[in-house]
Structure 1
Amino acid sequence: MSAIVEKLKLTEEEQKRYDRDNPNKHGRYALHEACLAIEPIAWRLNWASEAIARGCDVNELNDRISRPLRPLHEAIENPGSRTGKFHDRFESLDMVRFLLAHGADPRLRAGRADTPRYRWLTPMDEALCEARRSREAGYSDYRFWEEAREMMIEAAKKLTAKEEAERGLFSRMFAYLYSAMSKDWAMACVFCRLGNFDHKETTHTRSDCEYCKEEKKFSWNHLF
Structure 2
Amino acid sequence: MFGTFLKTPTSHAAEILAQEGYAFVVIDEEHAPFNPETTDRILAACRATGIAGVVRVADTGQILRVLDCGAAGVLVPHVDSPERARQVVAMARYRGGARGFSNTTRAGGFGATGMAEHIAEQDAGVAVVAMIEDPRAIDCIDAIAAVDGIDAFFIGRGDLTVAYGAQSQAASEVRGAVDAITAAARKAGRRVFVMSGTPEDAAELSAKGATGFIMASDQGFMRQGAKAVFQSYAAALSEKQSV
Normalised by the size of structure 2, how large is the TM-score? 0.27
Select the structure that is richer in helix: 1
> In terms of Rg, which structure is larger?
2
The structure showing larger relative contact order (alpha-carbon pairs under 8 Å, at least 6 residues apart) is 2
Normalised by the size of structure 1, how large is the TM-score? 0.29
